[in-house]
A and B are shown apart, each in its own frame.
Chain A
Amino acid sequence: MERKKRHYPNFPGVVGWIYGGNLNFERVLFLLHRITGLALIFYLFAHIIVVGFRAYSPQMWEMVMGRISGHANPVILFFEWLLVLAVIFHMFNGMRLIFLELGFFVGKPSRPVYPYRTSIDRQRIFTWIMMILASIFVIWSIFAFFMGGGSHA
């Protein structure tokens, strides 16, 4: 039987962002940056809708906030905290990307002598510094949210 030959497409598509294979740490940061960026946009819309209730009446606003603010509901408090984590990560990784994508800390072209040194090795330390700074803010957020250390209490 005659059968038309065809290529198998083999395009990972969006799955490739999530599972790239046995690949590098910076790719995980890329994925997290994309997820947190999209989460922030999603939150922005939700935020506009919720804050929009103010336009109706003070009572309406009080009622809505009474139901869905973190003061009222520990589950929502937890999600608010996740949002803060997303902001912290997106901000520090975003600053990292701004520097690196403008060619800072990636090093200069050099003679390709084995074992090759690449921009991955050169920018790692900067990446770790940014991630450590982000972690400090994360620790602060745990105090502020769950231990009564911040204005939230």
Chain B
Amino acid sequence: MGYDMGKPVKKVKFRVFRYDPERDDKPHYSEYTIEAWKGMSVLDALNEIKADQDPTLSWRQSCRMGVCGSCAMVINGKPALACQTQVLKLDTDVITIEPLKSFPVIKDLAPDLQNLFRHHTHVKPYIIRENEEELTEEEPTEEFLQSPEELEAFLQFSYCIKCGACVSACPVSQSDPEFYGPQALAQAFRYISDTRDEGEEIRYAIVDNPQGCWRCHFAQSCTFVCPKGVDPAMAIQYLKRDLVLMSLGMKKEKKRAQKAPLGAPTDKVPEKYIPPEFTIAKPE
């Protein structure tokens, strides 16, 4: 087999949640023992099990490097990306693997994420412009300027890979599928914080309801499990803060991105928009 990336270090038992919609009424657990090697991810382990022991085991994967968001599952009680979780770092002899909670299970470890994307699309996760034609111009003549600080205001939230780990961990989502959930609410805040966006009033109106940001009780489990450092809990509390400030008439007006002619020479661009010089440390 092509698995000699590292030498076997120890035997690890995998207890894997199984559910076959064509045969089972209830889920059960199957056990597999494998030799774990240094550098082996849980996803590698599942692939070895499927190749050598049980071809009927199912899950979803694609990039195997923490980018696509396909392989989130509950590993030893914590939702995580299988491809980013090192078997040996878990430091247990038995590893329990279950599908993400709060989502219906299609088969074994593959959850049906329709609810995640329903909430995600509901908050309008895209740039909204008052002049819609700006977004569809065939030959645009202007571009938006954004300073590094303006980028940092939303960059972290834009790292979301829609894996669903946060929704699986959230105690509110676990008992209320109509709660928008940390993923969607964080995306609402991501676009609200983007100076290019002009749709903040629409989005504030969407999240300002009992199934929106007010349903969050700040258990912070979403932030605890997010594999990309998105910190949905922080985003949601800022949504609440903004809504409270708005109701008091104390919210400052949002800054809009300035525009410049496409490809304008940098000496025409205000200084704060010029990114810091990019340097690569030279090897000694």
What residues of chain A lie closer than 8 Å to B218, measured between beta carbons? 26, 30, 97, 100-101
Q: Are A119 and B155 in contact (CB under 8 A)?
A: no
**Interface residue count on the A side (C-beta < 8 Å):** 42
Q: How far is the CA of A89 from the CA of B77 in the complex (A)?
A: 27
Which one of A6, A12, A26 contacts B220 once the chains associate, using CB atoms below 8 Å? A26
| Contact across chains for B241 and A3 when beta carbons are under 8 A apart | no
> Binary interface profile of A, 63-107, with partner B (CB < 8 Å = 1, else 0)?
000000000000000000000000000000000010011110011
Q: Digitize A4-38: 1 where CB-to-B-CB distance is under 8 Å, 0 elsewhere.
A: 01111111111011001111101101110110000
B-side interface residues, number (CB < 8 Å): 56
B215-241 vs A, Cβ < 8 Å mask (1 yes, 0 no): 011111101111011110111011011
Q: CB < 8 Å: which of A11, A21, A22, A107 contacts B234?
A: A107
A95 to B171, CA, bound (A): 21
| A109 interfacial contact with B, CB 8 Å | yes
A8 near B104: Cβ-Cβ < 8 Å: yes
Out of A7, A23, A101, A103, which one reaches B77, CB within 8 Å?
A23
A12 to B174, Cβ gap below 8 A?
Answer: yes
**Interface membership of chain A positions 35-53, coded 1 if the CB is closer than 8 angstroms to chain B and 0 otherwise:** 0000000000000000000
Tell me if B169 is interfacial: C-beta within 8 Å of chain A.
yes
Q: State in angstroms the CA–CA spacing of A23 and B77 once bound together.
A: 8
Query: What residues of chain A lie closer than 8 Å to B155, measured between beta carbons?
Result: 109, 111-112
Tell me if A56 counts as interface (CB < 8 A to partner B): no
The chain A residue with its CB closest to the CB of B102 is A11
| Distance between B215 CB and nearest chain A CB, rounded to angstroms | 12
Contact between chains at B231 and A17 (CB < 8 Å): no
B206, CB-defined interface residue at 8 Å: no
Q: Pick the contact of A118: B24, B74, B223, B244 (CB < 8 A).
A: B223
**Which of B78, B230, B234, B241 sits near A23, CB closer than 8 Å?**
B78
A7-B106, A8-B104, A10-B103 given; A24·B152 CB < 8 A: no
Known A7-B104, A26-B218; contact A120-B224, beta-carbon cutoff 8 A: yes
Counting CB contacts under 8 A, is B14 at the interface?
no
Min CB distance, B146 to chain A, in Å?
14
B104 touching A10, Cβ below 8 Å:
yes
Residues of A within 8 A of B234 (CB): 103, 106-107, 109, 118-119
Contact B219 A22 (CB under 8 A): no
> Is B112 on the interface with A (CB-CB < 8 A)?
yes
With A and B bound together, what is the CA distance between A117 and B221 in angstroms?
A: 14
A residues in contact (CB < 8 Å) with B: 3, 5-14, 16-17, 20-24, 26-27, 29-31, 33-34, 97, 100-103, 106-107, 109-112, 114, 116-120
B residues near A (Cβ < 8 Å) are 19, 21-24, 26-27, 74, 76-79, 99, 101-106, 111-112, 152-157, 159, 169, 171, 174-175, 177, 193, 216-221, 223-226, 228-231, 233-235, 237-238, 240-241, 244
Q: Please give 20 more A-B residue pairs, beta carbons under 8 A apart, in addition to A24-B220, A112-B229.
A: A5-B22, A8-B21, A11-B175, A12-B175, A16-B101, A16-B102, A17-B171, A21-B169, A27-B221, A100-B218, A100-B237, A103-B237, A103-B240, A103-B241, A106-B237, A107-B234, A109-B234, A111-B155, A114-B229, A116-B228
18 pairs across A/B with beta carbons < 8 Å?
Answer: A8-B26, A8-B105, A10-B111, A11-B102, A16-B171, A20-B169, A20-B219, A23-B225, A24-B220, A30-B219, A109-B157, A111-B152, A112-B229, A114-B229, A118-B224, A119-B223, A119-B231, A120-B224
